[in-house]
Amino acid sequence: MIRDIKKLAIQQLSDYRNKTPGTCFDDLDFILDMDSAYELQNTVADIRVTEGEVIIGYKVGCTGSGTTRQFGMKGPIRGTLFGSELLKNGAELDFNAFTNLAIEGEMAVQIGDNGEIISAFPIIELHNFVFRAPIKTLPELITNNGLNAGVVCPDLIWQKSTRYISQSAQLSVKINSEVIAVGDLWSLPQGPSGSIEWLENNLKNWNRSILPGNIILTGTSLGLYPVQPGDKIDISINKETTVSCTVSAKTRISKT
């Protein structure tokens, strides 16, 4: 494990809030292993909770063929989700509130009281699409919380459905009326259960666990796509739009 983890976590959180994420990776001599990367991510999360934020779930990332080709590495990896960054369907995103804003369309699930999946629905994951080290690595991705910078959720009618856990369908990403990617709903052959099983084992290693009510982003079979002010993003299942957001240069983010 690396020394001064708390000090580094404070720097990480400050960088994130100042829209300069992961500056520690500008140092060519800065090297982390996987365990140290998760320790750092966890410590940042603990600081945020101490300051009053609420963990609402986790993401499983770098699993599908789209992102593994794009990043040149294969996970899975885990990130932590916070209630302060959960956004409503139709949210207007301030481009300047992110760093190299990019989006993913993917499926999420919500966990019930007995650990069962009680809903499965599409979301838009927001990213600060920044890698600083000369070569992309899983530790950098983990340290920077899987690049996560927020989640746009669909309306409640979609969040209460379980039909797409077993029902075959296609997920698509549209930017400004142009479909840029279409693929399977689930990034792993086992569907959402594969992502959840991996996540449970990962969290157990750190004395953490999935809690009732948690939202889990299960990963995407598609890629990660940069966006610009003026863009409109739509995520669809079988060509039916389920969740959308727009990007502007100056606006206030609408939160749930």
| CA dihedral (235, 241, 242, 245) positive or negative | positive
- What predicted TM-score, i.e. pTM, was given to this entire model? 0.92
Backbone dihedral angles phi then psi of residue 38, each to the nearest 5 degrees: -70, -35
Average pLDDT on 197-209 reads 96
Round to whole Å and give the CA distance between 79 and 143: 9
- Burial (Cβ within 10 Å: 0-12, 13-18, ≥19) of residue 75: buried
Q: Where are the alpha helices (DSSP H) in 4-64?
A: 5-17, 34-50
As a whole number of Å, the CA-based R_g of the chain is: 17
pLDDT tens-digit series, residues 187-199: 888 889 999 999 9
Of 166 and 239, the one with more pLDDT:
239
| CA dihedral (234, 235, 237, 242) positive or negative | negative
Residue 251 has pLDDT above 60, yes or no: no
- Burial (Cβ within 10 Å: 0-12, 13-18, ≥19) of residue 17: exposed
pLDDT tens-digit series, residues 65-118: 666 677 777 779 999 999 999 999 999 999 999 999 999 999 999 999 999 999
Domains and CATH numbers, the chain: 5-248 (3.90.850.10)
Q: Which amino acid is at 109?
A: V
197, containing H or E segment = helix 192-204
Backbone dihedral angles phi then psi of residue 234, each to the nearest 5 degrees: -125, 135
Output the pLDDT for position 68: 65
C-alpha atoms less than 13 angstroms from C-alpha of 207 in its C-beta half-sphere: 3
